[in-house]
A and B are shown apart, each in its own frame.
Chain A
Amino acid sequence: MCTDNPGVWEYIANWARKHSIWVLAYGTGCGAIEMPPTMTSRYDAERFGLRGAATPRQADLLIISGYLATKTLKRVIRTYEQMYDPKYVLALGSCTINGGMYWDSYNTIKKLDLYIPVDVYVAGCMPRPEAIIEGIIALQKRIEEGRAEGAKKYRENIEWYKKNQREVFGDEMLPDYTWNFEGGI
């Protein structure tokens, strides 16, 4: 029962991954305030199998909910690298798409995609809970079709991502033990 032969087994796995997404709600901007209504009674994202995850080790979905200062980006990258393989990123708000209203600010990130692979963008200067749930459903469809392979993408062109990150961080790079591993269990 090895893991990555496409066939039926993978289909079932994707079905399970679709229906149980554990969210690491990263309150990095104004979008964080939208997360509670989506999870609680009125919009109840738990119906879709969403559940808050306390640590990146347990999480599948990383929601970046707003502008990203370079300082916050370092934390986001470390968290992303600590998550395990089928991991997805949902970027809320226009600030993650093209810098939004901070398009000319000196210390915000203009395009999130340069630094970590993003699965679904939800535009809007802070999308409402319905829009977030819409984004999640889109994400679930991607997972079902098996196209939500952000982790593989990050692994394959790690140099490119690291080059972009080094441009932003300069010499204060993150330690690299979070992404390249020697063997052993």
Chain B
Amino acid sequence: MIGPHNIVLIPVVIGILAYFAGKLVRPVREGLTLLSSLFVCYVVLFKAGLNTIGIYTYNFSLPQYFDGFRFGNNGFSWYFAVIIAFSYLFVSLASFPLVKDKEYHGSFYLFFNIVAGALLGIVYSRDLVSFFIFWEIMTWSSYFLVVMNPNTKGKTGLTYIVFNVAGAYAMLTAMLIVYSYAGSFHFDRVVKAVSLMTNSTVFFISLLFAIGFLVKMATMPLHIWAPDAYTESEDSFTPFFSGTLSKMGVYGFILFFGMLIGFVNIKGVYEIKDTSLIGYIVAWLGVVTSVFATFRAIVQDEIKRLLAYSSIAQVGYIVTAMAVGTALGVAGALYHALIHSVIKLLLFITVAGVIYRTGKNKFSELGGLITRMPLSYLAVLFGIIGLAGMPPFGGFASKWVIYMSLIKNHYYFLLIGMIVSSTAAFLYCYKLIYGIFLGHPSSQGLMEVKEVPGFLWVPQIVLMMVLMLTGFFPGYIVPFIETAMKGIGFSVAFNSTSAYTLSAALGGFNGFVVINVLGAIFVFVFVWYTLFFPKSKRLHRLDIYWAAETPDENTPLHYGYGIGAELDRIPWVGMSLRTHITRFYEKTGEQISGIASVLKDVVFNGDGQIYMLYAILTLVSIFLLMGR
């Protein structure tokens, strides 16, 4: 019967099938992928059941040594499974037109399906080995999707693989240490074993786990791979990459620090401001990430690089919210994870459509597309309202919960750091929508551009609806979050009653009233303005106040892409833009390859006689060292 344990195989098998079947009939790939995504959505929503804590031991002929994989489903995995399933559906829909005539058409669908399967595996696995296996499959299959389009730099792929593999191996070391205490990899046995560990071991394994997950969430010191990887990965895969893959880091962090190791155990080790030292440091890393990444996002000229940095910043909020380990914080992190993946899916799909249609991906080359692509304009408008966290839509609700959690637990300085970055976020939100849609078209070609392909409309419209839904009923998601939290053993944080309101520790707000008031006023003023006033004249594009001069077709009027140039002059911000941590990593890289080449030339220097000398010397050393 289809359940959490074999839902994982469906996308992987279909991916492989699609690859080979597609060699005969090309559109089979799209059909199979769509089929598999629909089926996955169906199973995740209905078949897997909201909180069936079923454990499907799945001894598929593994050495008795591992006493079998275990899969299961509870509120927490269901919450993330829904995110994965729906983004899998939307991204596959969006990718049909975009990848149709690319030469890597086959391998795209192969690896895309494998990644989706791997994510489901991660979310449903109930023991460390299967968690790690699917984590590694996700790493290498997403690697192939990153390096797929030919015009990317080779360095991007290598940086991506080195960071992610290193993170995964850090996690593996911690798992092995836990295994040596627990004697088994299953979560329930692990939870018991962690409590009897000594403080220093708990600190060491939580440090290693933190590294593993922070690499995936691209938090500051470990984020080097993220901007390039997000920008240069295949356009239609980036929504899945930034929208869902980074959420696996969130899932892992909460699962391991919430349930397996338990915040209370880590707190016992070194405590600061009634949370664990590691949690506090990671929270500060999250804040630093969001501030640096936001300012870095503002000055970008490439659309996808701006969105990449914005993803890093937004995930930085999630890291801060959950790292301090309070119930409300984790709830805020879960809520923001959902909202952020909805927004990033919406924005990246639309941007991919725009790039597909115009062939340009820089703000300085675009502009004035609002008349040609109204639906995409609306989609990006909804997206930036959510990204900036403005009230009418869900973005505000999740940020509100995070702010409330930080205030309630007295982490004021963390909150101030977060405010700096969330206010600066308005700048890159405006730059995103101005650079592409408003202002003047930078080249004539942009005037004949058509709207994004039909397939993209479905995800765009549905995602817009979701954003409005979370705006109308901010409390609607709360029961799901609470079941998720109970799944990992956290107490209930909200005290909001109905779906309309969202209220927690210090206050609350009624999303329904906010939107109705906004809507009513808007309608009133709009009607009053359109009917009771003389119709305004439709001015020509160039009929603008240009200090009495007459701008012609090729005067550069699309100034908006330069937003952020003034940040250099602001002392603190300018300094943050100039510091690059990549230099540190390049130096270590050179160091290692320096050692490698010295070692290579010294040890293997090609002279047969020296090799014989090595043999004799080893013999002599064995005699001396072991002889007495």
Question: Which residues on A are within 8 Å of B, measured CB to CB?
Answer: 1, 3, 55-57, 75-76, 78-79, 82, 174-175, 177-178, 181-185
Q: Which residues of B contact A184 (CB under 8 A)?
A: 537-538
Give the residue name and chain of the B residue nearest to A176 (CB): B540
Residues in A with CB closer than 8 Å to B535 are: 183, 185
Q: Are A55 and B538 in contact, CB atoms less than 8 angstroms apart?
A: no
Q: Report A-chain residues with C-beta under 8 Å of the C-beta of B514.
A: none
CB-based closest 7 A-B pairs: A184-B538, A177-B540, A75-B548, A181-B537, A55-B545, A185-B536, A79-B548
Within 8 A of A (CB), among B525-540: 530, 532, 534-540
- Measured as residues with beta carbon below 8 angstroms from the partner, the interface class of chain B is 10 to 19
Which residues of B are interface residues toward A (Cβ below 8 A)? 530, 532, 534-540, 542-543, 545, 548-550
Interface centre among B532, B535, B539 (most CB of A within 10 A): B539
Given A3-B534, A185-B530: 12 more A-B contacts, CB < 8 Å:
A55-B545, A75-B549, A76-B548, A79-B548, A82-B545, A175-B550, A177-B539, A177-B542, A177-B543, A178-B540, A178-B543, A183-B535
Give the distance to chain A from B566, nearest Cβ to Cβ, in Å: 21
Q: Contact at A174–B539, with CB atoms within 8 Å?
A: no
* A1–B532 touching, CB < 8 Å: yes
Q: For residue B542, which residues in chain A have a CB less than 8 angstroms away from its CB? A: 175, 177
Minimum CB–CB distance from B370 to chain A (whole Å) comes to 15
Residues in B neighbouring A82, C-beta threshold 8 A? 543, 545
Residue of A nearest to B549 (CB): A75
| Closest CB in chain B relative to A172 CB, distance in Å | 10
A-B pairs with beta carbons under 8 Å apart, 27 shown: A1-B532, A3-B534, A55-B545, A56-B545, A75-B548, A75-B549, A78-B548, A78-B550, A82-B543, A175-B540, A175-B542, A175-B550, A177-B539, A177-B540, A177-B542, A177-B543, A178-B543, A181-B537, A181-B538, A182-B538, A183-B535, A183-B538, A184-B538, A185-B530, A185-B535, A185-B536, A185-B538
Q: Once bound together, how far apart are the Cα atoms of A56 and B546, in whole Å? A: 10
Chain B neighbourhood of A79, CB < 8 A? 548
Considering the chains assembled together, what is the distance between the CA atoms of A154 and B146 in angstroms? Answer: 63
**In the assembly, what is the distance between CA of A123 and CA of B537, in Å?**
36
Closest to A77 in B: B548
Give chain A nearest CB distance to B34 CB in angstroms: 41
A75, B532: Cα distance in complex, Å = 34
Task: Name the distance in Å between A171's Cβ and chain B's nearest Cβ.
Answer: 15
Q: Which residue of B lies closest to A54 (CB)?
A: B545
* Minimum C-beta distance from A22 to chain B (A): 14
**A3-B534, A185-B535, A185-B536 given; A174·B543 CB < 8 A:** no
